[in-house]
């Protein structure tokens, strides 16, 4: 072997081991020397195995890093796709909402024209937009209400009946023909003079709502609770949570009325907005309540939705007082003589409760808005004029 060849050979990875092998081989060929050579071989093999293992580990680490980077790239692609799809979907939803809004306006205009041609009633009074002064007053009261215990108590009621069904009962004459004792274990909202019902103690209504200012004598008068109505509620409704307007809270508390009763207050007062005049009724009970001309629309339905109710059944919502002339008395399930609180003027009742009038327009707004929120409203009233909601037979609601 030439000197140059030997020099190149020594520069290789295993040169130290080969030099030692050559040296030992040339020195001796006995068994002891062969054992040394064998050890050098084993050491050389061990070193090679360590290098191979190191290469394997490095390769595995590189593969893991490559996998992570590949996953990051895939996630970024999916994120970009989702973002793009979301933006497109959001734009489509906006367009659909705009179409629905325009369609509602168009249908309302057609319905108003048809109503004028069909019914000879007093021309509805156009409701003007709230003035700056009214807005300022409402805002001041809103802030006051938000800071009150009354508002905090209302907030505690949110979603307490999530996913359940409830019955909302009016005071129409159709209740005479329905067995309300079936509602004993149901969530039940009742209104106004319902405590006159013969099955009141058996039903044990969950909630009692009184939105009418007429109970207190009117908005523009010093509050004066109707004595007959107060006696009825104070005697029969102690175990039923009641809701009144926040306006009358000082009057009720200063006169120590309903002591030991569970009373809550909703922000419902003048200046107020009418549901039929709005694009969407208010669903936030910490804000001003909108007026639906009836306690069912003004208090009961918003409360049920606020509490998480998903199926609302209407009863006794006849929407027909049976008034044909001014001298006629309103028709209820109880004797009209028991109704000692004041009532609206005949011409106002005729206008508000006309077919296609403000009450029915308010119910339509509620139906559409609640439906989009996943709340179903069905009407189990026996007869009546309320055709806005899906009709259902009362008895069928209790079949297993």
Q: Coil, helix or strand for 382?
A: coil
Query: If we measure between CA atoms, which residue out of 207, 196, 339 comes closest to residue 261?
Result: 207
Q: Which of 239, 364, 288 is nearest to 134 (CA)?
A: 288
Residues 172, 336: contact at Cβ < 8 Å? no
**pLDDT tier, 10 (very low <50, low <70, confident <90, very high otherwise):** very low
Name the residue among 300, 317, 298, 297 with its Cα closest to residue 309: 300
CA pair distance 76, 152, nearest whole angstrom: 44
Higher pLDDT: 302 or 358? It is: 302
pTM of this prediction? 0.66
241-245 β-sheet, strand order: 263-266, 241-245, 207-209, 187-191, 165-169, 311-315, 376-379, 390-391
Can you tell me the distance from the alpha carbon of 23 to that of 236, in angstroms, rounded to the nearest whole number? 117
Please state, in angstroms and rounded to a whole number, the distance separating the CA atoms of residues 344 and 347.
8
CA–CA gap between residue 267 and residue 104 (Å, rounded): 28
Classified as helix, coil or strand, 208 is: strand
Cross-strand bridge partners of residue 274: 291
For residue 112, is pLDDT > 50? Answer: yes
Q: Which of 399, 396, 195, 203 is nearest to 313 (CA)?
A: 396
- Residue 330 corresponds to which tokens in the numbers above? 């309103």
Q: Is 40 exposed, middle or buried (0-12, 13-18, 19+ CB in 10 A)?
A: middle
Asked if 384 and 319 count as a contact pair (C-beta separation under 8 A), the reply is yes
Which residues on neighbouring strands pair with residue 151, listed in sequence order? none
Report which of residues 126 and 350 the model is more confident about: 350
Contact 172, 316 (CB under 8 A): yes
Q: Is the pLDDT of residue 118 over 50?
A: no
Q: For residue 52, what pLDDT band results from cuts at 50, 70 and 90?
A: confident
Please report the pLDDT score of residue 243 as a whole number: 98
In the three-class reduction of DSSP (H, G, I as helix; E, B as strand; rest coil), residue 188 is classed as strand
CA–CA distance, 68 with 85 (Å, rounded to integer): 26
Is the pLDDT at 29 greater than 80? The verdict is no
pLDDT in tens, 258-298: 999 999 999 999 888 999 999 899 999 999 999 999 999 99
């Amino acid at each position: 072997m030439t000197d140059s060849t030997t020099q190149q050979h020594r520069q290789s990875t295993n040169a130290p081991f080969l030099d030692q092998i050559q040296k030992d081989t040339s020195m001796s060929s006995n068994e002891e020397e062969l054992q040394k050579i064998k050890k050098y071989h084993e050491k050389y093999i061990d070193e090679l195995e360590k290098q191979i293992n190191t290469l394997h580990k490095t390769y595995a680490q590189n593969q893991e890093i490559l996998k992570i980077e590949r996953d990051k790239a895939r996630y970024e692609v999916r994120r970009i796709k989702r973002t793009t799809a979301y933006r497109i979907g959001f734009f489509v939803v906006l367009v659909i909402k705009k179409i629905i809004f325009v369609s509602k306006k168009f249908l309302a205009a057609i319905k108003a024209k048809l109503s004028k041609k069909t019914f000879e009633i007093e021309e509805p009074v156009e409701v003007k937009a709230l003035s700056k002064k009214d807005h300022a007053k409402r805002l001041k009261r809103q802030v006051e209400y938000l800071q009150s215990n009354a508002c905090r108590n209302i907030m505690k009621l949110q979603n307490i009946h999530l996913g359940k069904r409830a019955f909302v009962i009016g005071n129409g004459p159709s209740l005479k023909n329905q067995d309300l004792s079936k509602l004993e274990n149901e969530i039940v909202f009742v209104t106004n003079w319902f405590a006159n019902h013969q099955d009141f103690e058996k039903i044990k209504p969950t909630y009692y709502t009184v939105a009418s200012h007429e109970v207190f004598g009117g908005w523009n008068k010093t509050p004066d609770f109707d004595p007959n109505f107060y006696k009825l509620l104070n005697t029969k409704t102690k175990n039923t949570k009641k809701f009144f307007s926040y306006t009358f809270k000082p009057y009720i508390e200063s006169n120590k009325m309903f002591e030991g009763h569970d009373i809550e207050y909703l922000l419902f007062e003048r200046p107020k907005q009418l549901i039929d005049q709005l694009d969407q009724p208010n669903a936030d009970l910490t804000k001003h309540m909108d007026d639906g001309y009836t306690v069912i629309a003004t208090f009961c339905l918003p409360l049920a939705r606020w509490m998480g109710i998903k199926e609302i059944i209407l009863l006794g919502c006849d929407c027909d007082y049976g008034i044909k002339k001014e001298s006629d008395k309103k028709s209820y399930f109880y004797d009209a003589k028991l109704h000692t609180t004041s009532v609206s003027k005949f011409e106002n009742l005729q206008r508000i409760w006309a077919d296609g009038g403000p009450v029915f327009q308010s119910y339509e707004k509620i139906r559409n808005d609640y439906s989009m929120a996943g709340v179903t409203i069905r009407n189990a009233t026996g007869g009546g004029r309320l055709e806005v909601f899906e009709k259902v037979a009362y008895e069928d609601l209790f079949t297993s």
